[in-house]
Amino acid sequence: MGILLSGSDIDRAIKRISHEIIEHNQGVSNLVLMGIPTRGAYLAERICKFITEIEGAVGCGVLDITLHRDDLRLRPPKPILPTKMPPGGIEGKDLVLVDDVLFSGRTIRAALDAIGELGRPKSVQLAVLVDRGHRELPIRADFVGKNIPTSISESVKVHLREYDSEDLVELIK
Amino acid sequence: MIKIVGAKLADGRVIDLDIDNQVIVKIENSARNLSNGAVDGSSKLLIPGLVDMHTHLREPGREDSETVLTGSRAAVAGGFTAVSTMANTNPVADNAGVVEQIYRLGKEAGLVDVNPIGAVTNGLNGEKLSEMGAMADSIAKVRIFSDDGKCVSDPLIMRRALEYVKTFNGIIAQHAQEPRLTVNAQMNEGSVSARIGLPGWPAIAEEAIIARDILLAEHVQSRLHICHVTTAGGVELIRWAKQRGIQVTAEVTPHHLLLTDDLVENYDPIYKVNPPLRTQKDVMALREGLAEGIIDIVATDHAPHPSEDKDCEFHAGAFGMVGLETALSVVVKTMVETGLMSWPDLIDRMSIAPAKIAGYATQGREIEVGMPANFILINPDQRWTVDKNKLKSKSKNTPFNGLELPVVVTDVFHNGEHVMKNGEILNMKAGSNGR
Amino acid sequence: MITGHLLSASDLTKESALGLLATAKELAQITDGPNKKLPTLRGKTVVNLFFEDSTRTRISFESAAKRLSADVINFSAKGSSVSKGESLKDTAQTLQAMGADAVVIRHSSSGAAKRLADTQWIQAAVINAGDGTHEHPTQALLDAFTIKQHLKSSEKDLSGVKVLIVGDILHSRVARSNVILLTKLGAKVTLVAPPTLLPVGVNDWPVKISYNFDEEIEDCDVVMMLRIQLERMNDSFFPSAQEYSKRYGLNTSRLQKLSKSAIVMHPGPMNRGLEISAESADDLKSVIIDQVKNGVAVRMAVLYELLGGAPIGEQR
């Protein structure tokens, strides 16, 4: 078990991702964020707050992907979590999806389907705190906090103070 | 000649006993000397053969669920030496022809006395008296008449029936169920039926008929028998009638001494029976009534049904449970093991009293020299677990499957014949009991 | 989350019921969107096994299953082998052979759903869509959902909400399920009916009993009218339709006695002019159409929770 990112590393990564998002989208006028529960939703809120401070107000929502998972029939059913639309909706917007760890890409595949139920954004981008590799689908992140090469048998655990009482990313072998 | 060595009687004596030519010829204190060919009675209790005044053997008509032969085998396995078979066969036993047929089938089976009960009304339809006199005069010598399964609900028909059977000292066995209060009824009406939404069969539908018929029996000075009493109120009414000297007798089934209506909560029709399982309060009143003798006898209401009539939803299920093979054990469990009754009490309620009510002279007699040899050996200390697939009855609808019960019946002697030996029913040829 | 079967409202805990209602709320939002269909139950087969006619309940379950992309087979007793005397057991075994993942059963015999679940006739998840005079648990769930939707005080649960259930309690599966569920969620339930239409044994239920509608109506939050079957009249449960309507019907004068925020419910189909007047049914207080709409969301939630995961024993 090893610490991959400390609390201040996470802060810096969020700030850098926020700047990159503003840069890439040339401002925030058409921008909305949606976090994938549980931790992706808190990360999206943090990014939203920082962008709002440095550039201007941006809408933030929550996107539950449970009903679109492709592994439903392999595990016990999970409760559905609330999906919250960002103020102003997503129709025609540049939508940035936010999640904590990018791994197989299956969650993001489900998220793209879930977005399809809600409307038709102009573009969909992806921001993740950690990219640990081992993709099983042709999906990549536009904004990455840290790339961490891992073995398939390891796992990456993100702790956020809103949910886990501290900010920390650790590698569990 | 058959010799039994070292058996214990209900009074505690350990004896040797000889049977010859259908009667007990010798009883003496046991020499405990097991000679060749003698039956080892040691550690066993020797009691009179049980008498069941209320059995359904389904023949003629529903031979897929039971025949007189398979029912006789079930009776022997349960320790019975005489059964009375209810009239709701197809065709109905409402004439001399049908009762003689059943009587002959019983003789051919040759395992127990099979005494047909005659219908009170033609086709059990409650409208016109059957030819009870002809049935009484037939070779079956019918003395008990019942429309069991249905109630003789018309008070005038009931009055006439009670009066008419006096000519041959008959008795009317009433299935007490007021039909208008039990339309489509499925189970006891009360807390459980309210919750699980099954149409109720209220206790008062039974008690109203018991009360009416007691008064009728008093008025016409005739004998009335109440089948399968199930309610505390019914016991009270019969107590009152007996105090007034009215000629009423009553029976309770083993299942009503043990099971309660909350079993129906899983909607398994195995617990569907008519009259229905009642509450714990009723069970306690029935046990007390039986112990006190207010309820005179235990009768099985053995009601065989094929599996498809129970493997279904509750409404579609048939009413009834098989009971011949578990009766003695359930009565011991509920009455003797609880300390409510002694073994002599049990012998009275399951053998002596029913034989007396039914008028079966060779049954339910004392174990004495000169008496007909209708008795059984049981192991009172052995326990067994009910396995429905091992029942001798053709039908397997027992509510006691998997239940551990006391007392094993090992040997049955019917009219001097050793018809069950160490749990094995001997292959009797038709008519081999020599009468 | 619920697992296995949904046979009775008593299968639900307060937590699992509130969880189902929350799931239903999410599903209702999604299916209000432009695309009503979710891929969640793709490849699952839901059989609507209806031994009694009930077009409303059947189409509600059917659209719930279809919105989750399940395949739906409608098996109704009329015109099928059932009307030729086939037993429930044989029907169930047939459906098992056809690979049913869930059976939604409506049957005239109380306990039929439980028999289907308890016996080895079929392995599918069983959902009780009304069994005889026993229960109709999804109706109670949609009623609870509708009450929560309309009463501001019921954000968390139904604590303190006063509900009148009026009419044929004796024969009503809707009433039984609602008594169990609504009281579990904290509501105070009063049953209003003539004594002939209350079961013997009702005194053991956690409810107040009243024979007098007018005495109860003023301070209630919800008045739920039950359908009265006219054939009950022939069995002397009440003397005449007119007398029943006068004493136990929701008419304009009773409607006016209701508090401002109270709502009127009916499980349908209504006998307008008998247990409920046309004006009452169409009044602003009436949420009867919402009940129908919420039925689909609630049934989607039930199907999702029972079928959304791997079958028990096959989970990774």
> Residue B157 is part of a domain; what is its CATH number?
3.20.20.140
Higher pLDDT residue, B251 or B431?
B251
Around Cβ C274, how many Cβ atoms within 10 Å? 19
Domain ranges of chain C: 9-135+293-307, 137-288
Reduce the DSSP state of residue B431 to 3 states and report it.
Answer: coil
Q: Report the interhelical angle of C14-31 vs C173-184 (nearest 10°).
A: 110
Q: Are residues B209 and B332 in the same domain?
A: yes
Q: Are residues B33 and B56 in the same domain?
A: no
Around Cβ B266, how many Cβ atoms within 10 Å? 14
Identify the domain containing residue B54 by its residue range: 50-358
Reduce the DSSP state of residue B231 to 3 states and report it.
Answer: coil
Residues above pLDDT 70, as percent of chain B: 98
Pairing state between β B297-298 and B417-421: unpaired
User: What's the pLDDT score for residue B431?
Assistant: 44
Reduce the DSSP state of residue A126 to 3 states and report it.
Answer: strand
As a whole number of angstroms, the distance between CA C108 and CA B186 comes to: 14
Split at pLDDT 50, 70, 90, the class of C315 is very low
Split at pLDDT 50, 70, 90, the class of C81 is low
Domain C137-288 sits in CATH 3.30.930.10? no
User: What's the topology of domain C9-135+293-307?
Assistant: Rossmann fold (3.40.50)
User: Is B301 annotated as catalytic?
Assistant: yes
As a whole number of angstroms, the distance between CA B356 and CA B370 comes to: 18
CATH of the domain at B383: 2.30.40.10
Does C231 score more than 80 pLDDT?
no
Helices (H), ranges, chain C:
14-31, 55-67, 88-97, 112-118, 137-150, 173-184, 213-217, 231-234, 241-248, 252-257, 278-282, 288-307
| B430 domain residue, yes or no | no
- The predicted-structure confidence for B276-308, as pLDDT tens digits, reads as follows 999 999 999 999 999 999 999 999 999 999 999
| B242 domain residue, yes or no | yes
> Which of B188, B201, B313 would you mutate first to test chain C, the one with the most C CBs within 10 A?
B313
As a whole number of angstroms, the distance between CA B320 and CA B318 comes to: 6
> Which of C32, C306, C315 would you mutate first to test chain A, the one with the most A CBs within 10 A?
C315
Does B430 score more than 60 pLDDT?
no
As a whole number of angstroms, the distance between CA C91 and CA C99 comes to: 13
Q: Are residues B331 and B414 in the same domain?
A: no
Residue of chain A with shortest Cα separation from C314? A74
Q: Are residues B21 and B81 in the same domain?
A: no
Residues above pLDDT 90, as percent of chain A: 82
Average pLDDT over every residue of C275-292 = 95
- The predicted-structure confidence for C237-268, as pLDDT tens digits, reads as follows 999 999 999 999 999 999 999 999 999 999 99
Q: Are residues B163 and B105 in the same domain?
A: yes
User: What's the pLDDT score for residue B427?
Assistant: 66
| B380 domain residue, yes or no | yes
Reduce the DSSP state of residue C97 to 3 states and report it.
Answer: helix
Domain boundary among B358, B392, B416: B358
Higher pLDDT residue, A88 or B347?
B347
Q: What residues pair up with C102 in beta bridges, in sequence order? A: C46, C125
Split at pLDDT 50, 70, 90, the class of A1 is low
Beta sheet of A123-131, edge-to-edge order: A59-62, A31-35, A94-102, A123-131, A143-147
User: What's the pLDDT score for residue B428?
Assistant: 57
Q: What's the total number of domains in chain B?
A: 2
Domain boundary among B308, B329, B358: B358
List of residues 6+ apart from C50 with CB closer than 8 A:
C57, C58, C74, C75, C76, C77, C105, C106, C129
- In one letter, which amino acid is B131? E
Pairing state between β B187-188 and B200-201: parallel
Asked if C15 has any chain A CB less than 8 Å from its own CB, the reply is no
Split at pLDDT 50, 70, 90, the class of C154 is confident
Give the class (CATH, top level) of A2-70+79-172: alpha beta
In this structure, is the dihedral angle defined by the CA atoms of residues B239, B241, B244 and B245, taken in order, positive or negative? negative
Nearest Cα of chain A lies from the Cα of C13 at a distance, in angstroms, of 15
Per residue in B120-132, is it b (16+ CB within 10 Å) or e — as a string? bbebbebeebbeb
Q: Are residues B107 and B20 in the same domain?
A: no
Residue with tokens 């509608």: C213
* Residues of chain B positioned with their CB less than 8 A from the CB of C109: 313-316
User: What's the pLDDT score for residue B434?
Assistant: 36
Query: How open is the CA angle C204-C207-C209, to the nearest 5 degrees?
Result: 95
Evaluate whether B249 touches B226 at the Cβ level (below 8 Å).
yes
As a whole number of angstroms, the distance between CA B312 and CA B8 comes to: 46
Q: What is the pTM of this model?
A: 0.90
Instruction: Tell me whether the CATH fold assigned to C9-135+293-307 matches the one assigned to C137-288.
Output: yes
- The predicted-structure confidence for C33-57, as pLDDT tens digits, reads as follows 777 788 899 999 999 999 988 899 9
Asked if A76 has any chain C CB less than 8 Å from its own CB, the reply is yes
Nearest Cα of chain A lies from the Cα of C12 at a distance, in angstroms, of 15
Average pLDDT over every residue of B368-397 = 97
Domain boundary among B332, B358, B384: B358
